[in-house]
Structure 1
């Protein structure tokens, strides 16, 4: 009897339809209910409404089919209104001719707190992992993009040139590199200040990016120089692309007074695999840079196209 009364868990007996016939002191102590107040009442009445639903739709059904249930998580309502998380084991047995349900109730407060803390720790870990992932993506982006303009930087340009050269070499399709240097930027930077000069570079970069197509990668090469890598573009197509970017560079800028204007001298280096050996990325940039200087010497604000192994063709 003492073992029943002072067992380390709550013990109850009920009829098959859930009416409490016996309860121990441990259950009374945990819940604050006296045996006089709950004996003869339904066990389900001691549960919260959600727990009642689980008890009636799961426990009762499984108990009737298998004769036992194990570690069902429920919530009991204590006499003072508190809610007590519990785990319930129940088994059907016979006491002489009468059939009884023996119920063991375990206080799951510590387990619930542990699971809650575990869940919070897992969420914190996931959030921390997400923050680290975002930071890594930001660092990777910053490593490959110019901080002022958001365009690809020289590292990404080199990477992209290597990719496009390898692809052109495999496919036999041409490519062009457009080298663009701003005309009129130095007076703006010198007279109006470097802060305004940075605004001009950012605005020009945004304008250039706005007319770039999916096959064209726009990069800031340094200072007021920009490079566009163009897939599947021979010399003629490269000239058309260069004119598109030259026209965009001449668009009036909101960041400077109307007395100042910016244009672009543009050089194009085009390579067709069928017409010559594969150049290196540095060779393409050098040829495009030299073509850009030819445009400056010819009067600025124009395009010069050079086919690798060919001759310069100053444009308008």
Structure 2
């Protein structure tokens, strides 16, 4: 290898590199090119590069690339096929230029396999769109119809309806995979229910599968189709990153044209349904994370504020009381000092769990900061709030085992009550401040107790 091509970047470049003479004879290649093509370096050195050009690209090579190389001109972004060691071809983009005053020509080779595959998929989708604009329009519009609050059932129902309309199916069914991988009917109708399960024998497929009533590959399904007065069904897997999200089944009672367009559109629908499910689930998860305390999992200050604002509005509309409980762990600094901050975090997590178990269904527990927690209790008057508070005090007194020993914790609770019709409407911050003040009254009175704030 000459000194001019011996730099370390040559073998480790993120693209294929070929050094060759003006007459097109290979002098060296880098490891990346060898990995892509499967050739050995010894088989390529001193070999004319033209012998690596695929049959379908030879005209491009002879009429465009070779003349420019002889003229020592640059070659930019030429697409051609290069022959691998096993005889298959690799789509590639090449750039070439003379190496300064050196007699060598350097060629950069970029593997275009994924780009070509993408372009082919894009062309197929474009052709499908041109031949069936209404179908594709339905599919495209679906991906933008779901917001942060969309449920899996809403997504499944929309795709079941879209598939029925787009493909002229008598019925469609969307089955989603649970945590155990089992498929459950989530939307649509399964006309074979009670006769045969159409999905289990087919669900391992990675592509669209069609079963006809006169088919022999799946005799039980075929018999079920005949019994239900159906002629065929298609099964489309809903896959995202290789993980099965579910399955779409289309049922037909007449002739169906299962041509290339049908398969392409089914695949497109399957991809879109899968991506939408993943996106909606991720959006819900991100939204939940943004509104929940990262340590304890209960609501954070932002969610508590939203909850309290909504609860105040609902209390006025319904004429029902609303209580806010403000809780602070007694002597929490001493717990951290005695057992360490890791143990302190365990205490916070455990007490948050106990708080959530102590309140009523419909109440919301959140961590407002440090060792302070809040419970929003819609419909709770002073008496009901006191019962909840006493339950919290009792359950929080139970010892908490940590690695360093046993922690005995308690909380002080302040309660603020809003009575529509008797009290002026407070703001959310005012409710919290009154409950906070009542909590400090409980602290001053000896801790591990509940204090009710003065009327608003």
Q: TM-score under structure 2 normalisation?
A: 0.42
Confirm or deny: 8 A CA contact 1:184 1:261 kept in the other structure.
no
Q: Is the 8 A contact 2:401 2:407 kept in 1?
A: no
Distance 1:216 1:190, change over 3 A: same
Structure-2 separation of matches of 1:122 and 1:255: 52
Q: Following TM superposition, where does structure 1 have runs of at least 4 consecutive aligned residues deviating by more than 6 angstroms?
A: none
How far 1:157 moved relative to its partner?
Answer: 0.7
1:248 aligned residue (383, 388, 395)? 395
SS at 1:200 equivalent: helix
Q: Is the 8 A contact 2:326 2:435 kept in 1?
A: yes
Larger Cα-atom Rg: 1
Cα distance in structure 1, aligned partners of 2:280 and 2:351: 32
**CA-to-partner distance for each residue in 1:194-248, whole Å, 9 max, x for gaps?**
2222221111111111222113111111111110111122222222211111112
Structure 1 alignment gaps of length 5 or more: 1-48, 59-107, 310-316
Report the equivalent of 1:214.
361
The Cα offsets for residues 36-71 of structure 1, whole Å up to 9 and x where unpaired, read as xxxxxxxxxxxxx728x99xxx9xxxxxxxxxxxxx
Q: Distance in 2 between matches of 1:116 and 1:164?
A: 51
Kept in 2: contact 1:238–1:268 (CA 8 A): yes
Deviation of 1:169 (Å): 1.3
Aligned pairs for 1:179-194 (under 5 A) are 179-194=326-341
What is the CA distance between 1:254 and its match in structure 2?
A: 2.7
1:261 to 397, 408, 432: 408
Indicate if the aligned counterparts of 1:146 and 1:220 stay in contact, CA closer than 8 A: yes
**More relative contact order, 1 or 2 (CA 8 Å, 6+ apart):** 1
Structure 2 residue aligned with 1:90: none
* 2:450 corresponding residue in structure 1: 303
Does the alignment pair 1:132 with 2:132? no
SS of residue paired to 1:274? coil
RMSD: 2.7
Q: Decide whether aligned partners of structure 1 residues 125 and 259 sit closer, same or farther in structure 2, where only a CA change above 3 A counts.
A: closer
Aligned to 2:152: none
Could you tell me which residue of structure 2 aligns to residue 288 of structure 1?
435
Q: In structure 2, list runs of 5 or more residues that go unmatched.
A: 1-213, 227-256
